[in-house]
Amino acid sequence: MALLRSRRLETVLGAPVDELSARNIEVLAGNGVSEAFDLDFKGTLYGNSDKERRDLCGDVAALANTSGGVIIVGVEEDEHAIAAATPGVELGDAERNRMLQTLASGVAPLPALDVISVPSTDDPSRGWFVLAVPRSTRAPHAVVVNEGYRFPVRNGTTIRYLSEPEVAARYRQREQHAGQLTAKLIDVVADSFESVNRDHGPWILVALIPEHPGALEISQARLRQMQREYASRDLLDIVTIQVLGVSFVTVGAAGSTLGTCLLRR
């Protein structure tokens, strides 16, 4: 299950980003699909020069800093930013890992994203990389340029860079959002105390607060899918909070804030 959920993109692409097929991408050129604030086409793989590495970091950071979106690598565009051909690129774990390593070293902080391979029907070694980037609650994300930082955002189909006052405002929004999540998490944990039998301890109370709005089916099948997909993800933040005199730890994971409270008799 991809982190990015966008009804607009599902309509444009014909399927959710994690369910795209070769056919969904091949018809983009014939349908005259154009780039947009949340959709970007790249005809070839991002190279390994300094400029091309910065381009990758800037494209991903700009989506995370704005409304989120998708970069499809292997789709060529014309002079009007309309999909013109879908030749695809060479797929493989080595290239996927190289892009992730480039982003990890070139974007601060690293935004959540999925890098999805969509193989061609004729030749599974070729196809398209789909970089799906949700709007980030940890914005602004900076691109590292010559030991300095620049903060890109999408401006239609192009990229511009935030001014100093805009960067300051984004940091205030980040802190405000983090405070709202923490307050909500504390309320959930406090309310849950009533249902815990503390005569038989110790107990562990876990509360999950989503960072992104949306709908999620709750089922055993969905739980098993999430366990498979998130078991290897790195945790991002660990913070200790006091609630009702009891210490617990909040752990920021991709797409959510998780609170774990240890109750002792």
Q: Are 60 and 104 in contact (CB under 8 A)?
A: no
The pLDDT tens digits of the residues spanning 175-224 come to 998 888 888 888 888 888 777 777 776 777 777 777 766 566 678 887 78
**What's the length of the chain?**
265
Q: CA torsion 154→101→256→170, rounded to 10°? A: -40
188 is written with which tokens?
């959930």
Amino acid at 176: Q
Give DSSP secondary structure letters for 113-155: -EEEEEE-SS-TTEEEEEEEEPPPTTPPPEEEETTEEE-EEEE
The pLDDT tens digits of the residues spanning 84-124 come to 999 999 999 999 999 999 999 999 999 999 999 999 999 99
Q: What structural domains does the chain harbor? A: 7-162 (3.30.950.30), 179-263 (no CATH)
Predicted confidence at residue 260, as pLDDT, reads 47
Residue recorded with tokens 């105390």: 193
The pLDDT tens digits of the residues spanning 134-186 come to 999 899 999 998 878 999 999 999 999 999 999 999 999 999 988 888 888 88
For the entire predicted model, the pTM comes to 0.77
**Number of Cβ within a 10 Å radius of residue 205:** 17
